[in-house]
Amino acid sequence: MSEFVVCGRLLDTLALREATAEVAALRIDAEGVIVERAPDGTDAFDALRLRDDAIVLPPDHVLIAGLSDLHIHAPQWPQAGQALDRPLEDWLGAYTFPLEARYADPAFAKAVYADLVLSLLACGTTSALYFSTIHEEASLELARACLAHGQRGFVGLVAMDDPGLCPPDYRHASAREALDATRRFIAAVRALPGNDRGLVQPVITPRFIPACSDALLEGLGALARETGVRVQTHASESDWAHQHVIERLGCTDSEALDRFGLLRPHTVLAHANFIDRDDRDRIRARDAAVAHCPISNAYFANSVLPLREILDEGVRCGLGTDIAGGYTPSIFENARQAVTSSRLRESGVDAGKPPALRGGVAGARVDFLEAFYLATRGGAEALGVSAGALRPGMMFDAVAIAGRRGHLRLQDDDTAATLVQKIVCHAGRETIVRVWVDGRAIKLKSDE
């Protein structure tokens, strides 16, 4: 790849409740790093715009940073939108574990994963933190799909060994077996042909505490310390899962994970609905992060994340689709739901009760600027990736949006806040026209 320039209307955010919109030119070096940003009206802008290698976006397009999905189960893609009426513990046993067991067949995995990675890129997801299954070969197919299509992928071989919760045909036979498999998987991902730039990274992935023995959790904590590999897991998702951990270990998920050495910088805790102030302090102190999955939470968690508190207290946070707990691969749809859920939490929702008895949380709302931050910069920070905004020093992970497609109606005089709100409300696959990851232009799948 050689250096190039992109010019157009840029929209990005570096802090909660702030966004910048301006016409500017970006120069991207051969390593895919943004090395210059020159606003319209400067000599530098004029010089960049006139270069032969300049891509000049049409005036009605907006360029934003790529989106991060901090929590997605790749093998559950075939059941997206199915069985949303079942409680989590039934849904896992009746639908999810039987589907995931099918990934013993790498050919099945290969077909599903290619389709998923392309679909996510088409939705603007430039970085994804994946759960795969317990199968090493199938999980490597997911890593290969990310490399083949150019997505920044963080891929976790799922570790689960508890015979009380996991079915006999879909679990590791022992903690030792799961640890050996995880160790092999880390080495195999790092050695994949074409992964010399580290676009795809392995992730240590205990499914959730109820599915893992103490020996496995301890061993994975030691492996994280030894290898420096990131960690992801589900934490305090539903009342059932939260209570299960308290009864077994006498403490909450965040404390237990900390004791096992799994709460580390850039550990991503999916859901975290039931965390309290002590949990939040612990997560922040360890520089770990929360993956907020608001659509999934509405169906499976019996709760709404205390997002306002998380943001006000400075806990790292981004968004996750949680396919197939959530039905959509779109981070924009989850950003909308994050705003909507926070409004319902504030109002207490039950119109049949007098306001004083509705249980609403005053001031709980989050706004569209905050949701946009979570979708872009918040997600990148949670992952420890230098991306998520269009600034010098960051990797060029970016999405160009056509401003007059579908329901989107951007105007020339829209402020940054208005652009953000319109885009969060209406952007999606049909409005996304170009995607870059690591400075490379992605070949998007056309809709069949």
Q: How far is the CB of 96 from Fe ion (least distance, A)?
A: 9
* 154 near ligand GUN (CB under 6 A): no
What's the CA gap between 442 and 237, in Å, rounded? 34
Q: Which does 368 bind (CB under 5 to 8 A by kind): Fe ion, ligand GUN, none?
A: none
Whichever of 127 and 205 has its CB closer to ligand GUN, that residue is 205
* Whole-number Å distance between alpha carbons of 127 and 437: 8
Task: Give the list of residues 6+ apart from residue 274 with CB closer than 8 angstroms, or none.
Answer: 236, 237, 238, 239, 242, 252, 303
- Closest-by-Cβ residue to ligand GUN is 325
At 349, phi and psi to the nearest 5? 60, -30
Told to check if 322 binds ligand GUN by CB under 6 A, we report yes
Question: Please, which residue, 13 or 297, has the CB nearer to ligand GUN?
Answer: 297
Residues touching ligand GUN, count (CB under 6 A): 12
Binding segment toward ligand GUN, per CB under 6 A, in 5-13, 26-34, 88-96, 187-195: 88-96
Which residues are 27's β-sheet partners? 5, 36
Least distance from C-beta 270 to Fe ion, angstroms? 5
Interacting positions 35-74 with ligand GUN (CB under 6 A):
73
# residues contacting Fe ion (CB under 5 A): 1
Half-sphere exposure of 42 (CA within 13 A, CB side): 14
4: three-class secondary structure by DSSP: strand
According to DSSP, the residues that pair with 275 across neighbouring strands are none
* 300 counts as binding ligand GUN under rule CB under 6 A: yes
Spatial distance between the Cα atoms of 214 and 382, rounded to a whole number of angstroms: 26
Q: In the beta sheet, which residues pair with residue 204?
A: 157, 231
Residues 184 and 223: their CA atoms lie apart, in Å, by 12
Fill in the per-residue mask, 292 to 331: x = in contact with Fe ion (CB under 5 A), - = not in contact.
------------------------------x---------
Applying the rule CB under 6 A, the residues between 159 and 198 that interact with ligand GUN are none
Count how many residues are written for the chain: 448
Binding positions for Fe ion, rule: CB under 5 A? 322
Binding positions for ligand GUN, rule: CB under 6 A? 73, 88, 92, 96, 207-208, 234, 237, 296, 300, 322, 325
